[in-house]
Amino acid sequence: MKTTRRHVLLGSASALLAASSLGGAALGFTLDPAKDEASKALLARVVRVAFPHKNFPDAAYLRTAGVILTAAEGTPGQKLAFAATLHDLDQAGFADMDEAAALDHLKSIEDTPFFVLTRSTTVVTLYDDPEVWAVLGYEGPSFDKGGYINRGFNDLDWLPEPRIEEYEAAQ
């Protein structure tokens, strides 16, 4: 029989179904990390190492991890690969690594589908969190407050006054 993408996908889906009926015991790790708080905390640590901000609250990183875990549930194969990578991170002791070692470990997996999904989802989710906006000094969108024109459009008090000079050749 010729190996096609369909056979591979069906095989991985069948393996996932068989393993999930055993509760993931055959694989040695949970197949549904979205329901596992330890996996969520580990993923939040991955996000914090990849996007370090001292002033960002832990809750924002945990919410981002939750969104990533939801995004990882695309196909059975993706879910299995994501869960396996989380398991590998756990086995490597990622949660207890110092910042430099953790960053080096993430650099070693930066081309994996796990990291690509984590990075792309984090960029959109973490910086779209109102709690993060407050830390960054961003007031959020203004359309529901009447727009910027009537809300201090020209209140840039943190910039120096511009030098305005007339161009004499134009006269």
Kindly report the pTM of this predicted structure: 0.71
Q: Of 9-13, 138-142, 167-171, which one has max mean pLDDT?
A: 138-142
Distance, CA of 36 to CA of 16 (rounded, Å): 17
Distance, CA of 122 to CA of 103 (rounded, Å): 16
Distance, CA of 94 to CA of 113 (rounded, Å): 18
Cβ density class 26-44: b for 16+ within 10 Å, e for less = ebebbbebbebeebbebbb
The tens digit of pLDDT for each residue in 6-29 reads 544 545 554 544 444 444 444 455
**Torsion over CA: 112, 114, 117, 123 (sign):** negative
- The token duo for 150 is 């009537």
Is the pLDDT reported for residue 64 higher than 50? yes
The tens digit of pLDDT for each residue in 72-122 reads 988 888 888 899 999 999 999 999 999 999 999 999 999 999 999 999 999
